[in-house]
């Protein structure tokens, strides 16, 4: 009798353990994934870069296509120029193209022109969007109309009413301060952020990490600020050696 009773108890616990498995799966399934986004520098395609083997594949410079290393082929992204808020929708046509890790994408000359990007400082916001999004459909419908209007307006047709005023404006435009920082990660606890700073100092040659308090429950670790694009690229590549997946570059932190 005791043996049968013991066997019954063991069977009960085994069945109970099996019944708990769906609950675990259910908890995992309800975790929502954050939409991919990245702010940083893009690489504008040219045949020269291809010849120099900085980019491993050609792209049609008249197209609205991009290369990206992490996003799936045929996915769509919204690209924004933060300096003027111009946006455009582009399609990822390959994610196995080799290009420098510092750049978050390779874009065409057409995209750069549509966004009026500064080619010496091609800084963009890139966000993954759904292929079935109505936002894409609306953009697709209006893009050709906007393009036809843009073609009718001469790019260099600037009317100067007051030469002195225009010269003064041009002077002001030229005085642009280059100031960027590399965003490493955001942390809930300040101690965690401090540990990341210690890790950076111990495992790299980088000594310019700091913590920015965004709220009582959000602490951001950054590197910088940098006033030269080569220095920021060198630091970015050194941080990449620690296997950070989605480093971002923030302007005027």
Give the integer Cα–Cα distance in Å for 95 and 98.
9
Domain boundary assignment for the chain: 37-129, 180-251
Question: What CATH number was assigned to the domain covering residues 37-129?
Answer: 2.40.40.10
180-251 is a CATH 3.30.70 domain: yes
Burial of 155 (C-beta count, 10 Å sphere; 0-12/13-18/19+): exposed
Give the integer Cα–Cα distance in Å for 52 and 99.
11
Confidence of residue 9 (pLDDT cuts 50, 70, 90): low
Per-residue pLDDT tens digits for 157-208: 333 344 444 445 554 455 567 789 999 999 999 999 999 999 999 999 998 9
Buried b (16+ CB within 10 A) or exposed e, 188-225: eeeeebeebbeebeeeeeeeebebeeeeeeebbbbbbb
Half-sphere exposure (CA, 13 Å, Cβ side) for 37? 10
Per-residue pLDDT tens digits for 98-143: 999 999 999 999 999 999 999 999 999 999 986 544 444 344 333 4
Nearest residue to 116 (alpha-carbon basis) of 140, 91, 150, 67: 150
Confidence of residue 22 (pLDDT cuts 50, 70, 90): very low
Q: What is the pTM for the complete model shown? A: 0.67
């Amino acid at each position: 009798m005791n043996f049968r009773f013991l066997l019954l108890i063991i069977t009960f616990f085994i069945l109970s353990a099996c019944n708990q498995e769906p609950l675990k799966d259910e908890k995992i399934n309800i975790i929502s994934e954050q939409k991919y986004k990245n702010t940083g520098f893009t690489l504008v395609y040219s045949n020269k870069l291809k010849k120099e083997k900085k980019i491993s594949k050609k792209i049609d410079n008249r197209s609205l296509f991009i290369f990206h290393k992490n996003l799936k082929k045929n996915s769509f992204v919204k690209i924004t120029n933060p300096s003027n808020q111009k946006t455009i929708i582009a399609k990822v046509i390959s994610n196995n193209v080799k290009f420098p890790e510092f750049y978050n994408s390779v874009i065409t000359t057409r995209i750069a022109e549509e966004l009026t990007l500064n080619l010496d400082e091609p800084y963009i916001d890139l966000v993954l969007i759904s292929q079935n999004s109505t936002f894409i459909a609306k953009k697709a419908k209006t893009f050709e109309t906007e393009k036809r209007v843009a073609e009718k307006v001469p790019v260099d047709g600037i009317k100067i009413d007051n030469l002195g005023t225009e010269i003064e404006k041009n002077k002001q435009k030229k005085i642009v301060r280059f100031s960027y920082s590399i965003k490493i990660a955001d942390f809930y606890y300040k101690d965690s952020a401090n540990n990341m700073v210690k890790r950076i100092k111990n495992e790299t040659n980088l000594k310019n990490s700091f913590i920015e308090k965004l709220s009582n429950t959000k602490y951001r670790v950054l590197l910088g600020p940098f006033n030269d694009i080569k220095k920021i690229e060198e630091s970015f590549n050194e941080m990449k050696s620690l296997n950070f997946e989605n480093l971002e570059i923030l302007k005027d932190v």
